[in-house]
Chains A and B, each alone.
Chain A
Amino acid sequence: MRHLIFVVGTSFAALLASTPAWPAPAISSTTVELPAGDALFPGGPEADAINNNCLACHSADMVVNQPALPRSTWESAVHKMIKVYGAPVEDSDVPAIVDYLAKVKGSGQ
């Protein structure tokens, strides 16, 4: 383990200390693998639209972990994904996606 010399800030100032005294940390090239996150939305055929349109940008767990929300909030979310974040969603698929969200994560409002 390397040990850095930590310069403790006083209550006044000196929060930053410019000190060349400690050795530079080693910075090594890094390669990792990230989990695929490619699980499908559950629900069979009624999940087809959301599975076909939404999983390119994010995994399904983001949606599964949301609270129950009003249908209007889900409509806004889907339109934000399309208009703001450029999600390539077919217009004809939008109602099925909103229906799925309102059913699975709807608050009944």
Chain B
Amino acid sequence: MSQHFDDARIPALSRRAMLRAIGVAGLTLAGSSVRADQSIRLPIAGEPRDWPITHDFPQKGSMILQRTRPPLLETPMEVFDRGVFTPNDQFYVRWHWAVIPTSVDADAFRLSVRGHVNQTLSLSIGDLLRLPRVELAAVNQCSGNSRGFFLPRVPGAQWAHGAMGNARWTGVLLKDVLDRAGVKPGAVQVRFNGLDEPVVPDAPDFRKSLDIDHARDGEVMIAFAMNGEQLPLLNGFPLRLIVPGWYSTYWVKMLSDIEVLDRQDDNYWMATAYTVPDTPHANIMPGQTGVKMVPISRMVPRSFFTNVADGASLPAGAVATIRGIAFGGDAGVAKVELSVDDGRTWQPATLGEDHGKYSFRRWQVEIPQLMKGGHSLMVRCTNTAGDIQPAASNWNTSGFMRNVVETVQLTAI
């Protein structure tokens, strides 16, 4: 597989890109953070304040540039206001290693299934297209989404809330593929590897594993389409593992190898990286040590404002519609509630169409006339398992699993 690190051209902003950015700014309410100089001010405390907007990545539109190589691209918050599904060309991007194939031959590509199975398989895309097809709406969220809001700050990609997206995933069930290989008795986990590789040969290749029962639960999928189209290369073309309700670290991109293990996977990316404190909300005190760590797994409920940003102004004495998106984590959205009085009282939001329990769900509230002055609006989601967003932020050294109630300060003028 080839890679191209030699193309140093950073194209000047095209007229189309500029118009697109202006369009984004025009759509948002006061408090919008898209700036004419192609940077965006994220609501993160401290430096840096302004982040570049990039249009330089293939099959991608306007994205917040967190890192060029390997790419870390964040979805601007305005995108989530436009619909419950995140368009492929603005779906966030996160790679660990810089050796990413930049060319994938769809005819030559093979997915291997091997290890503790009766029969090793080498499946073409065509083979997968002939299997029973499934489709599922599901949120893909980085473990470290919203890391930039951790206080004290922690190193890592300084995401605001845009390391998440929701798509309709089309593909086949992992269970169906495993059944064709024939899992042998005694299988413990299934390990997944993609085409990306470390730059340094001795470095740990990025591989993730699921317990065998999870892998065969009839929900975990191998997707070849996203919102009805083939996946953008940077989102994992041609195949991506879909693990509904679990953090994106398990959703292996450019999936090329499935290995059934007769033991627990102890590779670095399972045993050390992507572990969280085994405490409620993965929360510890800064500096606390000696905490038992476990692999991150299920997502937790979250909700966001999408048509008002922190610091925005609204006309006083006028009715306003406040709206956003929510998701339940590994369960559906039971309710979304809004508070306009700093969390003293809560009113239920009207929920939008239900696209299934793993999808974003839109919410909306008509708020009463606000008196002149500052107002603190809060939103919280309760999922169908009864989990509710906490009032206090969690903290851990990796900046994982943030799901505190979101707050925006508005001024009625």
Interface residues of A (CB under 8 A from B): 2-4, 6-9, 11, 15-20, 22, 24-39, 56-59, 61-62, 64-69, 73, 77, 84-88
Contact = CB atoms under 8 A, between A and B. Distances in A.
Interface string B154-177: 010110000000001010010000
Interface in B196-244: 198-204, 218-219, 221, 224-225, 228-230, 233-234, 237-238, 244
Contacts of B224: 25, 27
A6 B358 CA distance: 15
A86 B67 contact: no
A2 B137 CA distance: 18
A58 B59 contact: no
Given A27-B224, A86-B198, A18 B134 contact: yes
B65 interface: yes
**8 A-B pairs with least C-beta separation:** A37-B68, A37-B69, A9-B356, A32-B58, A86-B203, A67-B153, A86-B200, A31-B103
Contact of B10 (A18, A35, A62): A35
Interface in B71-125: 71-72, 97-98, 100, 102-107, 125
B246 to A, nearest CB: 15
B7 A67 contact: no
B179 interface: no
B203 A30 contact: no
A33 B57 CA distance: 8
B67 A62 contact: yes
A16 to B, nearest CB: 5
Contact of B56 (A22, A35, A73): A35
B200 A87 contact: yes
B4 A25 contact: no
Contacts of B103: 29-32
9 contacts: A8-B353, A9-B137, A20-B132, A27-B125, A30-B106, A30-B233, A33-B58, A33-B102, A65-B66
Contacts of A84: 204, 268, 272
B68 A35 contact: yes
A61 B199 CA distance: 18
A16 B56 contact: no
Given A86-B202, A88-B200, A28 B106 contact: yes
Nearest to A16: B134
Contact of B357 (A9, A19, A22, A33): A9
Given A25-B229, A28-B230, A86-B198, A35 B153 contact: no
Contacts of A38: 5, 8, 69
A88 B8 CA distance: 24
A67 B47 contact: yes
A85 B106 contact: no
B58 A8 contact: no
B155 A73 contact: yes
Contacts of A11: 332, 354
B218 A16 contact: yes
A18 B68 contact: no
Contacts of B5: 34, 36-38
Given A9-B355, A34-B100, A17 B58 contact: no
B102 A4 contact: no
B198 A18 contact: no
B233 A57 contact: no
Contacts of A25: 170, 224-225, 228-230
A66 B51 CA distance: 11
Given A15-B356, A35-B57, A61-B68, A27 B230 contact: yes
Contact of B155 (A26, A27, A69): A69
B22 interface: no
Contacts of B237: 30
Nearest to A109: B152
A20 B133 contact: yes
Given A17-B135, A25-B228, A9 B354 contact: yes
Interface in B1-15: 3-10
A20 B133 CA distance: 6
Contacts of A58: 67, 69-70, 98
B66 A85 contact: no
A64 B158 CA distance: 11
Contacts of B168: 4, 6
Contacts of B353: 8
B155 A66 contact: yes
Interface string B359-384: 00000000000000000000000000
Nearest to B10: A35
A95 B173 CA distance: 51
